[in-house]
Chains A and B, each alone.
Chain A
Amino acid sequence: MKDVNILVVDDEENIRILFKEELEDEGYKVDLAENGFEAIEKVKMNKYDLVILDIKMPGIDGITTLTEIKTIKKDLPVILCSAYTEYKQDLTSWISEDYVVKSADTTELKQKIKQILGT
Chain B
Amino acid sequence: MELVELISKIVDISHSNIDLDARINGILKLIQKYVEASDISIYILDKDKRLTLKYAVQNSLVTNLLSSYRPLLGEGVPGLVAQKREPHFYSIHNIPKRFGLLLQTELDNVLSNYRRFAFLPLCDESKCYGVLLVFSSVGSLFTDNEKKLFDIAARELTGLRKLGELYIYSSKRITELMTLSEIGKVLISSQDMDSILKGIGLIVAKTLGADFARVVLKEKNGDKHLLSAEYGGVSNEVKSEIKRIEKLVVEQGKRFSNIPVLENSLVYSSPIVSKGQVLGVISVVKRNDGTANSDDNGFYLLDTISNYLSSGLENIILRSQLKDIIDELNSAQERIIQQEKLRSLGEMTANIAHEIKNPLVIIGGFAKRLAKKLELKPPERRYLNIILREVGRLESILTEILTYAKDIPLNRTSVDIDEILTDLIHFFKSDPLWENVEFAKESEARLPRVFCDPQQIKQVFINILVNAYEAMAGEGKIKVRIFPKEILKKHYVGVAISDTGGGIDPLIIDNIFNPFFTTKERGTGLGLSISNKIVLSHRGKIEVENQRGVGATFIVYLPVCDDSTCVHQNDKMPRTQGEDT
Chain A positions near chain B (C-beta within 8 angstroms): 12, 14-15, 18, 21-22, 25, 56, 83-86, 89-90, 93-94, 101-106
Contact = CB atoms under 8 A, between A and B. Distances in A.
9 contacts: A15-B358, A15-B362, A83-B354, A84-B402, A86-B405, A86-B406, A86-B408, A89-B409, A104-B365
Contact of A56 (B354, B372, B581): B354
Contact of B406 (A21, A85, A105): A85
Interface of B is mostly: helix
Interface string B336-375: 0000000000000010011001101111111111001000
Contacts of A101: 399
B399 A85 contact: yes
A103 B392 CA distance: 9
B371 to A, nearest CB: 11
A12 B355 CA distance: 11
A15 B350 CA distance: 20
Contacts of B497: none
A87 to B, nearest CB: 9
B391 interface: yes
Contact of B402 (A14, A25, A86): A86
Interface residues of B, number: 30
Nearest to B367: A104
Given A83-B358, A103-B364, A105-B392, 13 more contacts: A14-B362, A18-B369, A22-B365, A83-B402, A84-B406, A85-B402, A86-B402, A86-B408, A104-B360, A104-B362, A104-B392, A105-B364, A106-B365
A14 B363 CA distance: 9
A93 B368 CA distance: 31
Contacts of A89: 408-409
B75 interface: no
Contacts of B353: 83
B358 A104 contact: no
A33 B372 CA distance: 26
A42 to B, nearest CB: 22
A15 B359 CA distance: 8
Contact of B361 (A15, A25, A84): A15
B395 interface: yes
Contacts of A12: 358, 362
Contacts of B191: none
Contact of A102 (B358, B367, B392, B409): B358
A41 B52 CA distance: 121
A14 B357 CA distance: 13
Contact of A105 (B354, B368, B409): B368
A9 to B, nearest CB: 14
Given A84-B354, A84-B406, A93-B581, A22 B362 contact: no
A72 B422 CA distance: 52
Interface of B: 350, 353-354, 357-358, 360-369, 372, 388, 391-392, 395, 398-399, 402-403, 405-406, 408-409, 580-581
Contacts of B363: 104
A65 to B, nearest CB: 18
Contact of A103 (B361, B367, B372, B406): B361
Contacts of B362: 12, 14-15, 18, 104
Nearest to B409: A89
A18 B354 contact: no
Contact of B365 (A18, A84, A93): A18
A102 B406 contact: no
A85 to B, nearest CB: 5
A90 to B, nearest CB: 8
A94 B130 CA distance: 106
Nearest to A55: B354
Contacts of A25: 372
B357 A83 contact: yes
Interface centre among B360, B362, B388 (most CB of A within 10 A): B362
Contacts of A94: 580
A45 B174 CA distance: 105
A104 B392 CA distance: 8
Contacts of A85: 399, 402-403, 406
B125 to A, nearest CB: 99
A103 B399 CA distance: 10
Contacts of B402: 83-86
Contacts of A105: 364, 368, 392, 395
Contacts of B366: 14, 18
